[in-house]
Chain A
Amino acid sequence: MNRNTFLIMLHSCLLVMVFSVPEKSAAAEVIFDRSSDSLKRGAVTFVNLCMLCHEMKYLRYQNLLEVGFSHNEVDALRKDKNIQDPLQSSTAPEVAKLLFGMRPPELSLMAKARKNGPSYIYNLLTSYYETADGVIQNQVFPGISMPDVLSYSIETDPLVRERLEQKAREVAVFMEWAADPNANQRRNMGYYVMAYLFILTFLLYLMKRKVWRRLK
């Protein structure tokens, strides 16, 4: 194989690598709908349900505008809170500690703090089950303090279960966004950067060839 063939192969490998590898190398079993609507529904579920106990201290209500909500929609979500306020839970941490034995974890970074975070969150939320003794347990996290907020374990109607699973996926998508709100900007910028670098490197290659040809 001569050098030029090798270099062309190298360049094309890099090109393929950039455009083919998915952003999150998720364990692939869960397919997420990352559309704006799904993300917004996830945000609503998060604010109305998860935030009964959990908080996202690195996010403010105004950040929800970036998800695609209008000002009015954010106003409806924040109720009496200021738009600059962080996403705090409605249960005081001391009360939550009394109820559940621990302070519910802060969730801004949860989607990055576990391997394949979004899949982990989805699996956790949909792994509640009822044991023979009528106790609610979780397969992913045995002994978890968090109750089955979606009431997934006691739901038998497959259609409703399906809907709850979708809800869990939406929450996971929102948490993924919350852990890395600049991901879209980063990727969009990345395409331009890569395109620029490919052109620049190709030109440098031509220049190198031209300069070195003087030696022959």
Chain B
Amino acid sequence: MARLINWIDARFPLTKFVKHELTDYPTPRNLSYWWNFGFLAGFVLMLQIISGIFLAMHYKADVTLAFDSIEHIMREVNYGWLIRYLHSTGASAFFAVIYIHMARTLYYGSYRAPRELMWWTGQGLLLMLMATAFMGYLLPWGQMSYWGAQVITSLFGATPFIGDEVVIWLRGDFTVGDATLTRFFVLHYLFPFLIVGAVIIHLVALHYVKSSNPSGINLADKDNIPFHPYFTVKDLYGLGLFLIVFCYFVFFQPEFFIEATNNIPANFLQTPEHIVPEWYFLPFYAILRSIPDLLGGVVGMFLSVIIFAAMPYLDRSSIPGGAHYRPWYRIMFYVFIVDILVLGYVGAQASSDLLIVVGRVATFIYFLTFCLLPYVSRKEEQWLRKRGLPAEIEELLQQESLQQQKKDNV
């Protein structure tokens, strides 16, 4: 065995790689369980790819066969129901995990220098994930699949001057049809591999700048521990907890995330009473509907997703420790989370006079949070420094400058 490894090591940096990325990879020992979600996202990505490949072996991307082929998978393929429910529940799990991962980053300010590129590659991953999920949702060719795709592709009609052409270009036809289904299937199969590529970039950046941690500063060497075995075992334990929740839905509530209407085959003559996207798009959908102008709504919706990328510049505070030591930022964080939940609720309901108002207020608060952040974060820091920073923060700042000096001396 040792000889084999030596043989490989002479030709490929296997041992070096394992040492550098796992057994010697320094990881802050104070990471909380909120730092488990990146690993979980990677796990769900693999789950989706593997279950997806097996589904693709039986799925037919043809409008006359798509719905039937799903039922074929559900009823006649051995354990087809299991593969499909893993995949459909996996989509929801993916977003749940990613949203928590993002919320952690926002709470602890992990997007700050030098981790801006981590945040931006993550942002790119989110966009690709959304596109993949949206295209995947068309494939069962149910009523909600069809009308959801119809509505969302038609939004591109708001593009100035060439709107109609863009919509036709996206659909490959004048309406969502066979051409749309086939291309969505092809892209739904392709995108996950692009996501894998982007994940690798995300991880390369991570292993260069190392993990952030709840203290918000770069820890001294003594406070870092090797990734393996400490975090491999911690991630596995977290995976166990995750799988308990996940498998509960797969085996006992598999239709929980599937809109009942999507069990009716797509019918272009009959619009469902109430078209709703999947839960993970609801807040953004609510923003789209809250802005009275179509173009404005579309811009607002896209902006609401990509505005996160500006966080490293919007947050002007240098107080470490994330929201923990920043009372104003913490309030903003929780208001923002509640605001997203309100938007999600509004997005799921048929519109009513009251809900339109609620949706507009929530949309306003959503963007206001980002707009106020530069001002609030600066004022907050001034205020904190004026009244004297708590001893813990002073200590953290001191440690950080010590680290910096050490680095400079080297």
Contact = CB atoms under 8 A, between A and B. Distances in A.
Q: Do A and B bind each other?
A: yes
Interface of A: 10, 14, 17-18, 21, 23, 58, 108-109, 112-115, 117, 179-182, 186-187, 189-190, 193-194, 197-198, 200-201, 204-205, 207-208, 211-212, 215
Nearest to A106: B265
Nearest to B68: A58
Contacts of B237: 201, 204-205, 207-208
B230 A112 contact: no
B39 to A, nearest CB: 13
B293 interface: no
B200 interface: no
Contacts of B85: 186
A21 B248 CA distance: 10
B247 A193 contact: yes
B255 A112 contact: yes
A113 B240 contact: no
28 contacts: A10-B241, A14-B241, A17-B248, A23-B252, A108-B71, A113-B264, A179-B263, A181-B75, A186-B85, A187-B251, A189-B251, A190-B250, A190-B251, A194-B248, A197-B243, A197-B247, A200-B240, A201-B240, A201-B243, A204-B233, A205-B240, A207-B233, A207-B236, A208-B233, A208-B234, A211-B230, A212-B234, A215-B29
A112 B263 contact: yes
Contact of B260 (A114, A180, A193, A215): A114
Given A208-B233, A215-B29, A194 B244 contact: yes
B290 to A, nearest CB: 26
Nearest to B229: A211
Given A113-B263, A198-B244, A215-B225, A186 B251 contact: yes
Contacts, number: 91
A14 B260 CA distance: 26
B253 A211 contact: no
B186 to A, nearest CB: 27
Interface residues of B, number: 33
Interface string B218-249: 00000001000110011011011101110110
B217 interface: no
B198 interface: no
A186 B82 contact: yes
A50 B263 CA distance: 20
Nearest to B245: A14
B81 interface: yes
B184 to A, nearest CB: 22
Interface of B: 29, 68, 71, 74-75, 81-82, 85, 225, 229-230, 233-234, 236-237, 239-241, 243-245, 247-248, 250-255, 260-261, 263-264
A112 B260 contact: yes
Contacts of B236: 204, 207-208
A204 B230 contact: no
B264 A182 contact: no
Nearest to B264: A113
B264 A186 contact: no
A115 B260 CA distance: 6
A179 B247 CA distance: 21
Nearest to B246: A197
A194 B251 contact: yes
Contacts of A108: 71
A18 B251 CA distance: 10
Contacts of B239: 204
Contacts of A109: 71, 263-264
A14 B244 contact: yes
Given A109-B71, A215-B225, 16 more contacts: A17-B248, A21-B253, A108-B71, A182-B81, A186-B254, A189-B251, A190-B247, A193-B251, A194-B251, A200-B240, A204-B239, A208-B233, A211-B229, A211-B233, A212-B233, A215-B29
A208 B225 CA distance: 14
A14 B248 contact: yes
Q: Which 7 residue pairs of A and B lie closest in terms of their CB atoms, listed nearest first?
A: A190-B251, A201-B240, A113-B263, A204-B237, A112-B263, A208-B237, A109-B263
Nearest to A3: B33
A211 B236 CA distance: 12
Contacts of A193: 247, 251
Contact of B75 (A58, A197, A215): A58
A23 B234 CA distance: 32
Nearest to A202: B240
B37 to A, nearest CB: 16
A201 B247 CA distance: 13
A208 B239 CA distance: 12
B71 A212 contact: no
Residue of B75, B245, B255 with most chain A CB atoms under a 10 A cut-off: B75
A194 B241 CA distance: 11
B71 A18 contact: no
A182 B74 contact: yes
Contacts of A190: 247-248, 250-252
